[in-house]
A and B are shown apart, each in its own frame.
Chain A
Amino acid sequence: MVAPAAIVLLLFTYIPLLGSVIAFMDYVPFLGFTGSDWVGWDNFTALFSDPSFWTAVWNTVQITFLQLALFFPVPILLAVLLNTVALPAAKRFVQSVIYLPHFLSWVIIVALFQQVLGGAGVINRFLITHGLSPFDVMSNPDTFKLLLTTQSIWKDAGWGTIIFLAAIAAIDPALYESAAMDGAGAWRRFWHVTLPGMRPIIVLMLILRLGDALTVGFEQILLQRDAVGPGAAEVLDTFVYYNGVVDGSWGTATAAGLLKGVVSLFLVLAANKIAHRFGEEGVYKR
């Protein structure tokens, strides 16, 4: 039963890892691995001396932090709130509504935001027709990272509730009944029953999220990069795209990607270790 999954993993995850050698080569696609020259650490040296790489790193870290601080708690809160909806039909309806944006592409999401918040969007049209000064959220580099996080929340927070709702559903109802018998109100039941019941999943999701922390969105950012400039919008993924795919500097781009992967691995290991310290299982046991 495991074989198909293992084969897929091997073919599409482990074998492509071998491509990381490009980071140490002046890779030319039509010459291939054997025809391209080895350059040792030159690509990393070039990367570290490139100011635009550090801009991309700094932007990525900022967006990662914002998403962890602002995005991550939202599905948890939504799941808890959804759990308080007593009427099943209403609950299903709300769930359907908040799941829906997940299925829209980033092109649509960005266009929707543009229609509402853009320079000629609904809000600004209202302001202009009433003689007020317009403001353009969509092209403001200072608020761009907040905008990105808001778009992510709007698109995926609802979808993210699924796993937390499942965690809540797995909590033994007897615990709620006992707590209620002991006189615990709604807040106490949430604090002493729901939250502890969700904690292992929250920790697990946080660690998994950290593994992906430096992947802060590619298409979403690429679509809006020119409007705010690379100073605000260049992240590691777009840096890799422009250097590798567009510019043909495959070696430098792969070096950046490899670096990102290594940092992500350390983040996962560190988070897992911290989880163990706090008595949680984390992604894997000690």
Chain B
Amino acid sequence: MGIRNRSGFSASNEGVSRRSLLRGAGLAAALVPMSGVLAACGSGSEAGGGGAASSGAAKAVPLPTYVPPVKPKPLLEGNAQGVMDVYASFPMDGPRTVNGQVGDGSDFNVLIMTYGQPSPPVSESPYWQLLNKELNLNVKPLQVPFDSFQTKFPALVAGDDLPEFVSVPMYMNVSRLPQLAEAQFTDLSEFLSGDAVKKYPNLAGIQNYAWLNGYLNGRIYGVPKSDPIFTSQIYTKTDVIEAAGANPNPTNLQEFKDLAKAVTNPKAGVYAFGSNIADFMMMMFGVPNKWTKRSDGTFVSAYEHEAFIPAMAELADLYKSGCFHPDTPTLMNNKTQRDSMFRGGKLAMLWDGNRAVGIVADDKDVVFDIMVPFGKDGGKGVHWTGGGAYAMTMIKKTTDKNRIDMFLRVLDYIAAPFGSRESFIMSYGVEGVDYTVKDGVAVLTTRGQREQDLGLAYIVGGPQVLCDPQGAPGVDKLNYEWQQKAVPMLLDNPAQHLYSETFNTKGSSLEQQMQDAITAVFLGREPASSLTSAVQKWKVAGGDRMAKEYAEAATLAG
């Protein structure tokens, strides 16, 4: 398994869907109180305000100092803007990045959200046994499937039943997380802030933008698993498109519509899409990434942008023209079936997260490409950025410094960078059981793939790379080239790491209302003009308050 592939693949309905992202973004925003970012920039001022999320007396602390991790020379070099390094295979003789004993032989109970089947029990898993030995711990993951996390997590909180270590996926909406962190989890600031993090070199290799997600109330409560900067994109089934004689690389809206119509063949059961591509349409129309910060410091929602409703009107027209699979209304909730239909050639295009490329490419025979963003009238398109972190891992409140230190040592091990000995062990397990070596390249066995569903790769980590020697040929290069083209089009969300109390407490229901309104337009239940009143309702119900709070937070942050 390449580190990138399944280490935190988003299982929301559309990979990282807009709703998920907004939740993630909101969560991220919720994590930083008004003075947090200012402090992160080095002011070291008192954390003031922040409403219910503020910690009155807490002093904001600097983010952990970034120390770039040592890495093997890549086949294709990435860049600081977000293009990921490409490697042909995992080096099997990488350097050791963790020295000394990691754990103290105790139990390591950790809550992890997972996507696959539960891993085999420790007695039947050499991979797990090896990991226990490496970490000198008895790792006991409490694996919660992604589709029940939103139910399970609040129940664990309400029942005061959270395990000692908790990993919270950023795109899941965890209500009042800043308050939850303050009440239940340990402030890790003195261990991680500034140069203190250097005691844990692999944690120091996590990028600052990822740490911002774990920065609550001006303090550091969580350790992040960093995320690629890209949101979702359209995968194209090249062979299906070529068979239809269509142009797989549209450069404007008209060409895109022509492509969708050309590949749709109801009699053969082939359709262009099987899910809502509202985000793609918005990007094509140049709609901002959730929020715009005006020159006067005010914030305006993307829903109020002039191109929002026209983009949705075009989306509805596309649906009406029959380019979407007839089961789209129900397929939107069935990612597995959509993936399978794409691979089987029943969907010519698939809207999914950037990391879904690993899932798509699992089938070596699948022939696909990734669509380069474009503007509706041609020219450069817009591609939204994500929140910067997939998950954040925290430790329950304790004053036991040894326990905290051990927790951070364990995370330091798990966060070992690509190419290191520790990372190889995490990715490949036991030779002869979990992987075999063919032509000098480690190849995971079926059993290895199964045993790796333990989920530790989801909880912490620094920069990810493209390394999928077992995937479809050329998949990493293909993704790398797409990333190079997408980087100049990246558009940030200015509210990404700002705190809004309204978003923190009402964000998801507000977003749910807007998503319901968009879905109604998409499926033709309501005209696009209905979005005007939906946006108005959204503004009155909390959107305006969010804008105000983001503006205040941005002012405080300087």
The interface of chain A, by Cβ under 8 A from chain B, is 28-32, 52, 114, 118-121, 124-125, 128-129, 134, 136, 138-139, 141, 223-224, 226-231, 242-243, 245-249
- Bound together, the chains give a CA A248 to CA B174 distance in angstroms of 8
19 A-B pairs within 8 Å (CB atoms) are namely: A28-B179, A31-B179, A32-B160, A118-B330, A119-B327, A120-B327, A121-B327, A128-B267, A138-B327, A138-B329, A139-B330, A139-B523, A141-B525, A231-B520, A231-B525, A243-B509, A245-B154, A246-B509, A247-B173
Known: A119-B328, A138-B329, A139-B329. A29 touches B520 (CB 8 A): no
- For the complex, is B333 an interface residue (Cβ under 8 Å from A)? yes
Nearest Cβ on chain A to B284's Cβ, whole angstroms? 23
Tally A-B pairs: CB < 8 A.
89
Whether the Cβ atoms of B183 and A30 lie closer than 8 Å is yes
B residues less than 8 Å from A119 (CB atoms)? 325-329
Q: Is the interface of A mostly helix, strand, loop or mixed?
A: helix
Most buried by B among A136, A224, A226, A249: A226
A120 & B525 in contact (Cβ 8 Å cutoff): no
**Inside 8 A of A120's CB, which chain B residues have their CB?**
269, 325-327
Chain B contacts of A227 at CB under 8 A?
329-330, 332
Q: Which residues of A contact B150 (CB under 8 A)?
A: 245-246
- Complex: A224 Cα to B523 Cα, angstroms: 14
Binary flags per residue of B484-521, CB closer than 8 Å to A gives 1, else 0: 00000000000000000000011011001100100110
Docked complex Cα distance between A139 and B325 (Å): 13
Q: Is the CB of A134 within 8 A of B326?
A: yes
Chain B interface (Cβ < 8 Å from any Cβ of A): 150-151, 154, 157-158, 160, 173, 175-176, 179-180, 183-184, 266-267, 269, 325-330, 332-333, 505-506, 508-509, 512-513, 516, 519-520, 523, 525
Q: Which residue of A lies closest to B269 (CB)?
A: A120
Q: How near does chain A come to B500, taking the closest CB pair, in angstroms?
A: 15
Q: Contacts of B519 on A, CB cut-off 8 Å?
A: 226, 229
A247–B269 alpha-carbon span in the complex (Å):
39
Contacts of B509 in A (CB 8 A): 242-243, 246-247, 249
**A248 engages B520 (CB within 8 Å):** no
The list of the 7 closest CB pairs from A to B, nearest first, reads A119-B326, A248-B175, A227-B329, A139-B329, A29-B158, A120-B326, A247-B509
Q: In the complex, what distance in Å separates the CA atom of A114 from the CA atom of B329?
A: 11
Docked complex Cα distance between A102 and B527 (Å): 40
Max chain A CB contacts within 10 Å: which of B158, B184, B328, B508? B158
The CA-CA distance from A134 to B324 in the complex, in Å, is 14
CA distance A223 to B333 in the complex (A): 8
Which chain A residue lies CB-closest to B23?
Answer: A246
Q: Which residue of A lies closest to B173 (CB)?
A: A246
> In the assembled complex, how far is the CB of residue A29 from the closest CB belonging to chain B, in whole angstroms?
4
Residues on B with C-beta less than 8 A from A243 are 509
Cβ-defined contact, B329 with A226, below 8 A: yes
Across the interface, do B330 and A138 meet the contact criterion of CB distance under 8 Å?
yes
Tell which of B175, B332, B519 has the most Cβ of chain A within 10 Å: B175
Which B residues are in CB contact (< 8 Å) with A121? Answer: 327
CB within 8 Å for A114 and B330 given contacts A28-B179, A229-B519: yes
- Contact in complex: A136, B525 (CB < 8 Å): no
Nearest-CB distance from B38 to chain A (Å)?
27
Interface-central residue, B325, B506, B512, by most chain A CB under 10 Å: B512
B396 CB to closest chain A CB (Å) equals 11
**Bound-complex Cα distance A139 to B525 (A):** 10
Per the bound structure, the CA–CA distance linking A124 and B180 in Å amounts to 50
A30-B180, A120-B327, A247-B506 are known contacts. Are A230 and B516 too (CB-CB below 8 A)?
yes
B157, A29: Cβ atoms closer than 8 Å: yes
Q: A226-B329, A228-B329 are in contact. List 7 more A-B contacts (CB 8 A).
A: A28-B176, A30-B183, A118-B327, A124-B326, A226-B333, A227-B332, A249-B505
Q: Is the CB of B327 within 8 A of A30?
A: no
Residues of A within 8 A of B180 (CB): 30
How many Å lie between the Cα of A266 and that of B519 in the bound state? 37
A36 to B183, alpha carbons, bound, how many Å?
12
Cα of A37 to Cα of B389 in the assembled complex, Å: 33
* Also in contact, A247 and B332, with CB within 8 A (given A141-B525, A226-B519, A242-B509): no
Q: A residues within 8 A CB of B183?
A: 30-31
